[in-house]
Chains A and B, each alone.
Chain A
Amino acid sequence: MAAGGSIDALGQFKLEPALGHIGASVNFTQANLMMVVAGLLTFGLLWVGMRPRAMVPGRLQSAAEMAYETVLGMCIETIGPEGRAFFPFVFTLFFFILFGNLLGVFPYFFTFTSHIAVTLALTVLVVVLVTVVAIRIHGWHFFSYFVPQGVPVALMPLLVPIEMLSYVSRLISLSVRLFANMMAGHVMLEVFGAFVVMLGSAGLIFLVPAGFSLAVNVALIGFELLVATLQAYVFAVLTCIYLHDAVHLH
């Protein structure tokens, strides 16, 4: 990690082929592997958790039920009664990102949400879906979304492009928020981890600051858990808000 005395904080984000020769031949990287793991974990939580079908749920079953009810409640509260139709999409999105973020906290695991390619792809999916939903529901009337009400017609050539830019800027704001939060957290972990190694091997006096760095790292891991959950939640809530705008226009 701290090769040759310098801190290589970004080396952890490098993609390496996973699964040996087969993975290398189809460019199956550890990020793809983690995506598969995240998907399987979500599936496993629901499938294994709901297998007992108990009236009074056990631990795993209540976790699965809480997951279901939280996301369903979020959809219905934010989007409205129509939100039920979008529940599968929001649920999948939320848990894919949540498990991606949480898996990254484990040592030797990889955080695929720390790559802008991944978060931007997810955001493009969301924005395209929102636009398609809005056009399907409202038809040509959708474009009135870009026309602010109660404004003189003379200002329209100025205001409509601004509204359109604001709409498109969701692409960047949504993807960069998730990507930047995850990347910044892992860079901090790497830097303080390197401090521990470098200071710890420098001599007896440096053991105190090394211990301090270790304590910071422990606190950072806890903070990472918070950020991982919060960012997955923010992503899902913002998707719901955009879907609300698409369904109701204004």
Chain B
Amino acid sequence: MSEESGEEERSFEERLKAARSRQGLDAPPPASGQGSDDIGGVNPWGIGLRVGIELVSALVVAVAIGYGLDYLFGTRPILTAVFVLLGGAAGILNIWRMFAPRPTTRDRGR
């Protein structure tokens, strides 16, 4: 009886300790967690959809800004054309950010 309760207590202590270390002292998780989270789903459909959205969204924002600036300054085609190119480049940059391994980009950044 006493042995059993002692064992239960110890297992509870262990679990508590595990939970504490998971929340407070998080040494191992960031190294493994960071890379896989970035791509979002593992299935190719999800990756394809994400690539498409990243590529198009930059273009949409760029065209909206270019068109708006053209409307403001009355230079109808010029700024839109410039921003389409910039937006395409930004879309490629988004995708590079998605697939670039995290540590190397961070090293390059510093």
Interface residues of A (CB under 8 A from B): 55, 69, 72-73, 76-78, 80-81, 149-150, 161-163, 165-166, 168-173, 176-177, 180-181, 230, 234, 237-238, 241, 250
- Determine the residue in chain A with the shortest Cβ distance to B82: A161
Category for how many chain B residues contact A: 35 or more
Q: How far is the CA of A77 from the CA of B26 in the complex (A)?
A: 8
Residues of chain A within 8 A (CB-CB) of B100 are none
Q: How far is the CA of A163 from the CA of B94 in the complex (A)?
A: 9
Q: Are B57 and A163 closer than 8 Å at their CB atoms?
A: no
Contact of A230 among B26, B41, B54, B106 (CB under 8 A): B41
Residues of chain B within 8 A (CB-CB) of A173 are 53-54, 57-58, 94
B34: Cβ under 8 A from any A Cβ: yes
Q: Are A165 and B22 closer than 8 Å at their CB atoms?
A: no
CB distance from A250 to the nearest CB of B (A): 4
Q: Please name 23 pairs of A and B residues whose Cβ atoms are closer than 8 Å in the assembled complex, sorted by A.
A: A73-B22, A73-B23, A73-B29, A77-B26, A77-B33, A77-B34, A78-B37, A162-B86, A162-B90, A165-B65, A165-B86, A165-B87, A165-B90, A169-B54, A169-B91, A172-B58, A172-B61, A173-B57, A173-B94, A176-B53, A180-B49, A234-B41, A250-B110
Q: How far is the CA of A72 from the CA of B57 in the complex (A)?
A: 30
Given the known interface contacts A73-B23, A76-B26, A77-B29, the answer about A237 and B40 at a Cβ–Cβ threshold of 8 Å is yes
Q: Are B23 and A76 closer than 8 Å at their CB atoms?
A: yes
CB distance from A226 to the nearest CB of B (A): 10
CB distance from B30 to the nearest CB of A (A): 6
Contact of B61 among A73, A150, A168, A180 (CB under 8 A): A168
Q: Are A169 and B49 closer than 8 Å at their CB atoms?
A: no
Given the known interface contacts A149-B109, A237-B37, A250-B109, the answer about A169 and B57 at a Cβ–Cβ threshold of 8 Å is yes
Given the known interface contacts A150-B108, A171-B61, A176-B53, the answer about A166 and B94 at a Cβ–Cβ threshold of 8 Å is yes
Residues of chain B within 8 A (CB-CB) of A81 are 26
CB distance from B23 to the nearest CB of A (A): 7
19 more CB-based (< 8 A) A-B contacts, given A165-B62, A177-B50: A69-B19, A73-B23, A73-B29, A76-B26, A77-B26, A77-B29, A78-B33, A149-B108, A149-B110, A162-B89, A165-B58, A166-B58, A166-B94, A169-B60, A172-B57, A176-B53, A177-B49, A180-B49, A237-B37
